[in-house]
Amino acid sequence: MGSRSSVTVRAPAKINLQLSVGAPAEDGYHDLATVFQAVDLYDEVTATPAPGGQFTVEVTGTDAARVPDDGSNLAVRAARALLHAVGPETAPRLGVHLHVRKRIPVAGGMAGGSADAAAALLACDTLWGLDLDRAQLSEVASRIGSDVPFSLLGGTAVGMGRGERLTPALSRTGWHWVLLVADGELSTPAVYGELDRLRAGRVLVEPRVSEPLMQALRSGEASRLGRTLHNDLQPAAVSLRPELDMLLEHVEAVSPAGVLVSGSGPTVAVLAEDEPHAGELAVALADAPGVSRVLRASGPVPGCRVVDPGVRSVGR
């Protein structure tokens, strides 16, 4: 087995085109029916060998100061979980230094931390020459967080259970989005908790994937997809952050075609008709209230990919 100098993996952000949330189970997790789309906004993680048992991380890029640079970083947790999965006999001689380059908004509902965890899994698997297959990596991923398996897979996929049980879905390519990164952040457990509070006493139906949405994805018609976008967490995100309502109203006045809060928010995703329209929308929404950054992205794109496998030295 040879060793590598370093391995760099990039991982995409996601948008939930549909997020239907059922009742909470005993463990506090909610049953979901969700449709994910991976978009071309990427974080990158570089894994470099470190002495056995050492796990360190540095974070650079957008909003790096808001991301932990210790063992609580999701990329470090992923590297440790991978070692745990391959067994203690391999573990003592392996360590890693991770460099996370952030572009995905932090705590913005676009699965930034999950992307870093998935990227770290693939980078460490390659660096350490473990060669786990995608199903094995996905199993480890699901223990780190519900969104992590999708960050590995990418594309367009239906997520059931906690969101980790994935089935790839058919979709035309070339959906264009404008992403309004709203000021501040929202905690995912707090948003789920607020949804429970808002729905207390209501009888909840089992969440199901929307057939009109699946048809719209296959049709390639943005206006059709726009009408079917849906996020059950949106009222909860707005309830915790009422200024989001003003932003959503502002966007609907500019572009009524398709808008929703991404995942647990507060990032707002606006679907454009095509690429030029996305450019126009980005300009028109540049001064939208409560927005700190306007980004453009398109999808679907593949999940985690090794972009630099480093140099392999010949060893025993």
Ligand X SMILES: Nc1ncnc2c1ncn2[C@@H]1O[C@H](COP(=O)(O)OP(=O)(O)OP(=O)(O)O)[C@@H](O)[C@H]1O
Site for ligand CDM in 134-153 (CB under 6 A): 145-147
114 scored as a contact of ligand CDM (CB under 6 A): yes
297 and 13 Cβ atoms separated by less than 8 Å: yes
For the chain, the helix, strand and coil percentages under 3-state DSSP, each to the nearest 5: 35, 30, 35
Of 187-195, 240-248, 289-297, 298-306: span binding ligand CDM (CB under 6 A): 187-195
- The yes or no reply on residue 220 touching ligand CDM (CB under 6 A) is no
200, 187 contact by CB (below 8 A): no
What are the φ and ψ backbone dihedral angles of 291, each rounded to 5 degrees? Answer: -105, 130
Instruction: Return all residues near 227 (Cβ < 8 A) that are at least 6 apart.
Output: 212, 216, 258
Nearer to ligand CDM, 193 or 290 (CB): 193
33 is in an annotated binding site: no
Site residues (CB under 6 A) for ligand CDM, limited to 53-92? none
Residues in CB range of 42: below 8 A, 6 or more apart: 10, 11, 12, 13, 103, 104, 115
Choose from ligand X, ligand CDM, none: what does 162 bind? Cβ within 5-8 Å by kind: ligand CDM
Inter-axis angle of helices 134-144 and 112-127, nearest 10: 140
**Distance from C-alpha of 105 to C-alpha of 21, rounded to nearest angstrom:** 23
Nearest to 303 by CA among 36, 100, 58, 5: 36
Tokens of 191: 């948003």
**Residue 194 CB, nearest distance to ligand CDM (Å)?**
11
Q: Contact at 8 Å (CB) between 10 and 101? A: no
By the rule CB under 6 A, 285 interacts with ligand CDM: no
Residue 94 Cβ, how far from ligand X at the closest point, in Å?
20
Give the shortest CB-266-to-ligand CDM separation in angstroms: 12
Cα–Cα separations (whole angstroms), residue 88 to 82, 85, 140: 11, 8, 15
Q: Residue 116's binding partner, choosing from ligand X, ligand CDM, none, with beta-carbon cut-off 5 to 8 A by kind?
A: ligand X
**Pattern 260-279, ligand CDM, x by CB under 6 A:** ---xx---------------
Indicate which of ligand CDM, ligand X, none lies near residue 258 (CB less than 5 to 8 Å, by partner kind).
Answer: none
Residue from 3, 29, 40, 85 touching ligand CDM (CB under 6 A): that is 29
Q: Which residues bind ligand X (CB under 6 A)?
A: 66-68, 73-75, 100, 106-114, 116, 147, 188, 263-264
Query: b/e per residue, 27-64, with b = 16+ CB within 10 A?
Result: eeebbbbbbbbbbebbbbbbbbbeeeeebbbebeebbe
For the CB of residue 125, give the shortest distance to ligand CDM in the complex, in Å: 20
Please check if 50 is assigned to a binding site. no
Catalytic residue annotation = 14, 147
Binding-site members are 105-115
Which residues are near ligand CDM by CB under 6 A? 16, 19, 28-30, 32, 34, 111, 114, 145-147, 162-163, 188-189, 192, 263-264
Binding site per annotation, positions for ATP: 105-115
